[in-house]
Amino acid sequence: MAVGIFDSGLGGLTVWDAVHKRLPDVPFVYLGDNAHAPYGVRDADDIYELTTAGVARLFEAGCDLVILACNTASAAALRRMQEAWVPAEKRVLGVFVPLIEALTERQWGDNSPPREVAVKNVALFATPATVASRAFQRELAFRAIGVDVEAQACGGVVDAIEEGDMILAEALVRSHVDALRRKMPHPEAAVLGCTHYPLVEEVFRDALGPEVAVYSQPDLVAASLADYLGRHPDKIGPGREAMFLTTGEPKRVSSRATQFLRREIAFRPA
C-alpha cells in the first residue's frame, strides 16, 4: 500500500513530513536523486530523463502513485510523462496544482472556466528551470484571469540548503526578495515554488513582511493527497515497506536529512 515521493534531493522531505503526519498509516517510499541535484539549472530533456528514472524505481518499489515533490520536475517533466510515459495503471502527480487551487480559492476538481480572483499581484520564487518553464503561469491561467505574476529565479538557494549552509541560504533568499521587489514593489501573495524553500520559509516571511501572504506547499499537498486517496483508494500500491532511497551517498544524505527534520532519517542506496 505504498505511495512514492520523488525529489531531486532533500527538499521533498518537507512534503514527506507533512503527508506522513496527515496519513500515518500509509507507507511512503521517498527517493532523493541527490547524485544529480540540483535540477533547477538543468535543461528540460535532462530533467525528464532523470525524473522518469527515479519514478521507475519507485514503481519497482511497489508504488502505483508517485508524487513529484519537486517543482522543477513538475514544471519541466510532468506533462510529458503523463502524456507519453506513465503506464495506464499508474499515476504521477505534481505539486503545483494544490498550491494554485489554494491561491485561487478553487476546490479540487472545479473545472469551471477561469475567473477573476481576490489576489492580483503574485510573486513566484522558484528555481531557474521552473521559472523558465512558465508552468506555474500556465496552470494558473486554467483557473484565474487578471493575475499578474512576477517570477524570481532563486539561483543558489537549493545548492546552499543541500550543502547545509543555511547562513548562505538566508543571505541568498534576502537578495532574491530584494530583486523581486524591484520588479513588483507590492506583491499581495508570494508563492514558494520549490519544496526546499519551506526550510527557509521564515526568512522569506521576514524579508517579505507581514502584509504579504506566503503560500508554501507541504500542508497543501498533504491535504490534496488525502483527498485524492480518499477518492482513489485503488491507487495505493502493493508495496508495504516505508523507506528512504538516495542516488547519493547514504551516510551523508542521512546526516543532512536528520539535521533538517530534527529526527533520525536513514537513507539506503537506490
| DSSP string computed for 65-104 | EEEE--HHHHHHTHHHHHHHTS-TT-EEE-SHHHHHHHHH
CB-based contacts of 89, cutoff 8 Å, min separation 6: 64
CB-based contacts of 168, cutoff 8 Å, min separation 6: 156, 160
Active-site residue 194, yes or no?
A: yes
Determine which one of 19, 66, 70, 212 is catalytic: 70
CB-based contacts of 162, cutoff 8 Å, min separation 6: 9, 10, 34, 37, 38, 196, 256
Amino acid letter, 156: G
Active-site residue 70, yes or no?
A: yes
Four-point Cα dihedral 218, 224, 228, 231, nearest 10: 140
Q: Where are the alpha helices (DSSP H) in the chain?
A: 13-22, 44-60, 71-76, 78-84, 96-104, 128-133, 135-141, 157-162, 166-183, 201-208, 218-231, 250-261
Determine which one of 67, 194, 220, 236 is catalytic: 194
What pairs with residue 219 in β-bridges?
none
269: preceding bond cis by omega (within 30 degrees): no
Q: In the numeric block, which cell numbers belong to residue 216?
A: 508554501
Catalytic residue numbers read 70, 194
